[in-house]
Amino acid sequence: MRKYAGPQSCGSRLVICHARNGQGGVYPYFVCSGRHGGKGDRTRQAMLIEDVEHLIEAIQVGAETRQNVVHRHLD
């Protein structure tokens, strides 16, 4: 496990855990360190890192949109 920056609602950090399935495949997850260590409110579920990365890509503002906003603001 390693620490990942970013406080959560309980104030704990996210850590990366590697879960292994029955066939030996490894799945990296973000897990609240408070939940993992038995502390905190334990309401944050584990999040598959790949899913989090897809969500980040989906909500990012594209380069063209970003450029249009800057030009409108400066004009």
Share of the chain above pLDDT 90, in %: 23
Taking every pair of C-alpha atoms in the chain, what is the biggest distance, in angstroms? 59
pTM tops 0.85? no
- pLDDT confidence of residue 4: 44
- pLDDT per residue as tens digits for the range 24-56: 999 999 888 877 666 656 667 788 999 988 988
Distance, CA of 67 to CA of 37 (rounded, Å)? 44
What is the tally of structural domains in the chain? 1
- pLDDT confidence of residue 33: 81
Distance, CA of 49 to CA of 28 (rounded, Å)? 6
Q: Which domain range does residue 42 map to?
A: 3-74
Tell me the DSSP string of 28-69: EEEEEHHHHTT-S---PPPEEHHHHHHHHHHHSPPHHHHHHH
